[in-house]
Amino acid sequence: MAKKKIGIYSPLASTPNQKVEDLFLIVDDHSIAFSVKNIEKNTFVAFEFFENEENVEGWGPLMAYLQNNSKLIHAIYRQVHFVLNHSHFIITKKYDSSDTLLYQNELSLLHGQLMDAEIQVNELANGSMIVFAVPDSLITLLTRTFPIGKWKHYAEWVISTKMGQTAEDNSSVQIHLFETNYLLSIQDNGNLKNIKYITSSSPDQNCYSILNACQQLGVIPSQMHLQIVGLEYSPNQEMNETWSQLGTYFSNTKVISTPTSGIGESLNKEFPHHRYATYFIF
């Protein structure tokens, strides 16, 4: 079985003749989240989060549950963005050949042989390529409901956000927190040095993993900005032990919270200890 953990709504404005909202459908191994954004107002207007019950595997039960329990699944959208939030991806150079086999081989070398999956290759703004694989079963389930959906990887949105940062943030370590892991990205003098998922652990192990990643790249934490997205929401932006310890190694720390406009205000009020800020970066 699957379950709905949260649903926050405001009236949607799209009609068949005037579509003003985009759906960002974020998928990982155990959950599917719906983030709806009014593009004209640049504001999130609805959010749902579903996950499998413990010991339930696969997306089939989730999609079956969504069909009858999501208030957003049958709405009208301008665009539908499928966002894969999974650790199996690579950033690589752009090959002269358009044959995806070259990218598939490179992805397989790092993450193992890919079975029953479709390779997705998207070009980033800096000319490099992001490569990831989407299981055929997941593609079938989602495109049946959303035939206009296009795939991107969660890391693509993180990278595009970093490219739009101010000069002050061009040397930074950014952490996007999820239930069981986090996405670590390191940018030095405007250049993306590394981006990868790490399994969450104890406070000491989390600190070690991040500081070790910095050391391996030759960057000095005390000269870097630390940004954390997805901490348990606190009106005072207080950090818990896991991440306050890490902040002492950096020049300053910034906590990026859920937007306070649109449904963000209701989300923060009705669910005061939520950790959903990572689903509002788009």
Q: Which residues contact 201 (CB under 8 A, 6 or more apart)?
A: 209
The CATH number that applies at residue 240 is 3.30.420.260
pLDDT over 60 at 168, yes or no: no
User: Do both 131 and 235 map to the same domain?
Assistant: no
User: Do both 119 and 182 map to the same domain?
Assistant: no
User: Do both 28 and 10 map to the same domain?
Assistant: yes
User: Do both 45 and 119 map to the same domain?
Assistant: yes
Name the domain boundary from 164, 194, 216: 164
Mean pLDDT (whole number) for 98-116: 91
User: Do both 20 and 159 map to the same domain?
Assistant: yes
**Tokens at residue 209, please?**
């993993």
pLDDT value, residue 115: 86
Q: Are 184 and 194 in contact (CB under 8 A)?
A: yes
Mean pLDDT (whole number) for 255-281: 89
Q: For the segment 29-57, what is each residue's pLDDT rounded down to a tens digit?
A: 899 999 999 999 999 999 999 999 888 87
Mean pLDDT (whole number) for 85-98: 93
Mean pLDDT (whole number) for 246-267: 90
Write out the residue range of the structural domain in which residue 263 sits. 166-279
| Integer Cα distance of 248 and 193 in angstroms | 22
| Integer Cα distance of 7 and 272 in angstroms | 14
Name the domain boundary from 164, 190, 214: 164
Phi, psi of 38 (to 5 degrees): -80, 110
Mean pLDDT (whole number) for 52-79: 91
**Structure confidence at residue 139 as a pLDDT band (50, 70, 90):** very high
pLDDT over 60 at 102, yes or no: yes
User: Do both 219 and 106 map to the same domain?
Assistant: no
The CATH number that applies at residue 135 is 3.30.420.250
User: Do both 1 and 109 map to the same domain?
Assistant: yes
**Tokens at residue 142, please?**
């989602």
| Integer Cα distance of 105 and 114 in angstroms | 9
Locus of tokens 């609805």: 46
pLDDT over 70 at 235, yes or no: no
145 CB-side CA count, 13 A: 22
Count: domains in the chain: 2
Name the domain boundary from 97, 131, 164: 164
| Integer Cα distance of 31 and 53 in angstroms | 10
The predicted model scores a pTM of 0.94
Q: What is the pLDDT of the chain when averaged over all its residues?
A: 91
pLDDT over 90 at 165, yes or no: no
**DSSP per-residue letters across the chain:** -EEEEEEEE-----BTTB--EEEEEEE-SSEEEEEEEETTTTEEEEEEEEEEPTT--SSHHHHHHHHHH-SSTTS--SEEEEEE--S-EEEEPPPSS--THHHHHHHHHHH----SEEEEEEE-TTS-EEEEEEEHHHHHHHHHH-TT-EEEEHHHHHHHHHHTS-GGGSSEEEEEE-SSEEEEEEEETTEEEEEEEEE---HHHHHHHHHHHHHHHT--GGGSEEEEE-PPP-TT----HHHHHHHTTSSEEEEE---SSTHHHHHHHHSTT---GGGS--
User: Do both 56 and 84 map to the same domain?
Assistant: yes
